[in-house]
């Protein structure tokens, strides 16, 4: 078993064990006879109403996602998008956090849209939904300050204030001093801190929020996107509220109480377990007991009815979606705009921010990586890249930016700007993806790509090639390819000058 597969196995095992633990924790003190009696006595008409609202929410999500894809020059079928969204939810039941990549992969295969473009739209969606959730949590706090707000004040803020070291002006001054010291230290050691893998993820997360907001600001159909977002969260709110009528203990809950319960459930859903299983039950039941004094058995009854009914329909709809997308789709795979050759080339130039999701989507495909400035592409480059591509399934080329090339080659280079060089490389059949990097070496880029095979010219010794340690550590290999005699960018430039 390769290191990559072993890591994936351990991740799946950890998530699965967390799911099992949370399920055990949720039900260990429950009165199962009362729970079963409650399941038998529940009003399933309200449960079904919640399920139908959930199905509407999936459809609205598909319509909203389509607004992000259409500006890229594609018009995917609404039915295909709905099926892809359902498959994403189904994938989350099997593999936590895999749903976003799965739905992109499903739509890419059914409607022939470049995967990297789809992943970018999902990043925007996820950013916007996270901001929506934060706004909804704050709204629930203020709108239901007599219950939800009171719970936070008495169980969090007041208990902190009761601590001697959290009260008085001294704590305020100490807090200000600590923040100032942290800010100064972060600035002084910023270069070293930015090399830290954990902080890089935090920075990437923050940068992703900024990029998502920029994309939204540049969107032409912002009002429709906002309308779909409001409708989506109204569906989530309604499906949480109407299901409360299914059991006597919560049948008198009003719409604002339904909002609070939705917030509790959202915390469970975002937990990295299989479809929120276990976490949803634990957080919802404990929260309903702490805020509304609802017995935990009744809280578990509500959580079980809502979560398992949605999960059952996701499985059924997911099977139907898979059949429609991949078994009976026939030759008619898309009604999107005809993709031009130029659009296909541009789709092969990707931002490095997309690489983690792309790497997950590539799965077991053997990824080859090489890099260079590729200022004037000539026969030597073409043969070199073709031979590199033959070593695996996908060839990713790291391309030095203009600033990076200038530092390496001198002030007179590059002769062509980075966008032009990227387009030329992307037009080659051998190249699967082009990613720019601004550093002097592609070491950080190689960390993101995690290639199975690292390739450079034969003028290098394998152990001297940048990224050798990364690739070998994960069970990959490093290859060198001889250059074609008589072909180099320098010689081409020299001949051009002479002429």
Please report whether residue 338 resides in a domain: no
Quote the Cα angle for 202-207-212, to 5°.
130
For residues 154 and 240, membership in a common domain is answered with: yes
CB atoms within 10 A of CB 419: 12
Please report whether residue 433 resides in a domain: yes
Please report whether residue 336 resides in a domain: no
For residues 88 and 210, membership in a common domain is answered with: yes
For residues 350 and 308, membership in a common domain is answered with: no
- The yes-or-no verdict on residue 172 having pLDDT over 70 is no
Which CATH number covers residue 386? 3.40.50.620
What is the per-residue pLDDT for 13? 78
For residues 80 and 222, membership in a common domain is answered with: yes
Q: What is the mean pLDDT of residues 396-400?
A: 95
- The yes-or-no verdict on residue 451 having pLDDT over 90 is yes
For residues 81 and 219, membership in a common domain is answered with: yes
Cβ atoms of 356 and 436 within 8 Å: the answer is no
Cβ atoms of 484 and 475 within 8 Å: the answer is no
Counted domains in the chain: 2
**Residue 435: exposed, middle, or buried by beta-carbon count in 10 A (0-12, 13-18, 19+)?**
buried
Query: CA-CA distance, 79 to 84, in Å (whole number)?
Result: 9
* Residue finishing a domain among 299, 327, 355: 327
Please report whether residue 394 resides in a domain: yes
- The yes-or-no verdict on residue 43 having pLDDT over 60 is yes
What is the per-residue pLDDT for 305? 94
Please report whether residue 332 resides in a domain: no
What is the per-residue pLDDT for 335? 43
For residues 321 and 352, membership in a common domain is answered with: no
Which of 30-34, 166-170, 193-197, 446-450 reaches the highest mean pLDDT? 446-450
- The yes-or-no verdict on residue 320 having pLDDT over 80 is yes
Please report whether residue 405 resides in a domain: yes
Which tens digits make up the pLDDT trace of 174-226?
A: 667 777 777 777 666 666 665 666 666 666 556 555 555 555 565 667 889 89
Q: What is the mean pLDDT of residues 288-315?
A: 91
For residues 283 and 426, membership in a common domain is answered with: no
Q: 0.85 exceeded by the pTM?
A: no
Q: What is the mean pLDDT of residues 88-113?
A: 84
For residues 354 and 223, membership in a common domain is answered with: no
- The yes-or-no verdict on residue 265 having pLDDT over 70 is yes
Which tens digits make up the pLDDT trace of 355-393?
A: 776 776 676 789 999 999 998 888 889 999 999 999 999
* Residue finishing a domain among 276, 292, 327: 327
Q: What is the mean pLDDT of residues 282-289?
A: 88
Average pLDDT, the chain: 81
Q: What is the mean pLDDT of residues 246-252?
A: 94
Please report whether residue 64 resides in a domain: yes
For residues 322 and 364, membership in a common domain is answered with: no
pLDDT band at 334 (very low <50, low <70, confident <90, very high): very low
Q: What is the mean pLDDT of residues 112-121?
A: 75
- The yes-or-no verdict on residue 3 having pLDDT over 70 is no
Lowest mean pLDDT among 70-74, 112-116, 214-218, 258-262: 214-218
- The yes-or-no verdict on residue 498 having pLDDT over 70 is no
pLDDT band at 6 (very low <50, low <70, confident <90, very high): confident
For residues 349 and 216, membership in a common domain is answered with: no
Q: What is the mean pLDDT of residues 54-61?
A: 94
- The yes-or-no verdict on residue 413 having pLDDT over 60 is yes
Lowest mean pLDDT among 234-248, 286-300, 351-365, 460-474: 351-365
What is the per-residue pLDDT for 147? 67
- The yes-or-no verdict on residue 256 having pLDDT over 80 is yes
- The yes-or-no verdict on residue 173 having pLDDT over 80 is no
Instruction: Pick the more confident residue, 161 or 390.
Output: 390
For residues 48 and 189, membership in a common domain is answered with: yes
For residues 247 and 376, membership in a common domain is answered with: no
What is the per-residue pLDDT for 322? 86
What is the per-residue pLDDT for 157? 52
Q: What is the mean pLDDT of residues 466-495?
A: 80
Which of 10-24, 40-54, 275-289, 361-375 reaches the highest mean pLDDT? 40-54
Lowest mean pLDDT among 33-42, 109-118, 255-264, 278-287: 109-118
Range of the domain at 131: 7-327
Please report whether residue 237 resides in a domain: yes
What is the per-residue pLDDT for 337? 47
């Amino acid at each position: 078993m390769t290191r990559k597969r072993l890591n994936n196995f351990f991740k799946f095992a950890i998530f699965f064990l967390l799911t099992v633990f949370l399920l055990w924790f949720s039900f260990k003190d429950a009165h199962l006879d009362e729970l079963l009696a409650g399941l038998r006595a529940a009003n399933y008409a309200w449960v079904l109403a919640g399920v139908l609202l959930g199905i509407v929410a999936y459809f609205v999500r598909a319509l909203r996602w389509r607004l992000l894809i259409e500006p890229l020059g594609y018009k995917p079928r609404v039915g295909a998008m709905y099926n892809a969204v359902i498959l994403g939810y189904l994938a989350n039941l099997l593999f936590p956090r895999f749903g976003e990549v799965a739905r992109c992969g499903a739509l890419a295969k059914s409607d022939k849209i470049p995967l990297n473009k789809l992943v970018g739209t999902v990043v925007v969606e996820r950013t916007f939904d996270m901001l929506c959730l934060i706004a909804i949590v704050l709204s629930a706090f203020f709108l239901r300050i007599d219950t939800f707000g009171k719970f936070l004040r008495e169980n969090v803020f007041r208990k902190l204030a009761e601590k001697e070291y959290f009260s008085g002006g001294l704590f305020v001054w100490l807090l200000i001093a600590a923040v100032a010291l942290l800010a100064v230290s972060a600035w002084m050691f910023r270069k070293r801190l930015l090399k830290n893998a954990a902080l890089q993820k935090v920075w990437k997360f923050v940068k992703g929020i900024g990029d998502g907001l920029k994309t939204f600001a540049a969107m032409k159909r912002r009002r429709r996107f906002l309308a779909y977002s409001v409708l989506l969260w109204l569906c989530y709110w309604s499906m949480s509220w109407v299901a409360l009528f299914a059991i006597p203990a919560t049948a008198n809950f009003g719409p604002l109480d339904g909002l609070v319960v939705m917030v509790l459930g959202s915390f469970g859903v975002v937990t990295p377990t299989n479809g929120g299983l276990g976490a949803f039950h634990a957080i919802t039941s404990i929260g309903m007991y702490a805020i509304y004094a609802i017995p935990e058995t009744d809280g578990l009854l509500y959580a079980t009815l809502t979560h398992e009914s949605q999960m059952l329909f996701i499985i059924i709809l997911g099977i139907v979606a898979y059949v429609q997308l991949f078994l009976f789709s026939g030759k008619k795979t898309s009604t999107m705009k005809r993709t031009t050759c130029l659009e296909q080339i541009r789709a092969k130039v990707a931002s490095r921010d997309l690489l983690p999701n792309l790497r997950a989507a590539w799965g077991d495909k053997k990824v080859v990586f090489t890099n260079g400035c590729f200022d004037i592409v000539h026969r030597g480059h073409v043969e070199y890249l073709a031979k590199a591509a033959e070593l695996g399934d996908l060839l990713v080329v790291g391309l030095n930016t203009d600033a990076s090339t200038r530092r390496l080659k001198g002030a007179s280079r590059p002769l062509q700007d980075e966008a032009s060089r990227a387009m030329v490389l992307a037009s080659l059949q051998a190249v699967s993806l082009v990613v720019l990097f601004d550093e002097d070496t592609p070491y950080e880029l190689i960390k993101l790509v995690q290639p199975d095979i690292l390739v450079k010219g034969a003028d290098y010794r394998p152990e001297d090639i940048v990224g050798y340690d990364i690739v070998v550590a994960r069970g990959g290999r490093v290859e060198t390819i001889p250059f074609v005699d008589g072909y180099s960018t320098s010689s081409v430039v020299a001949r051009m000058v002479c002429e």
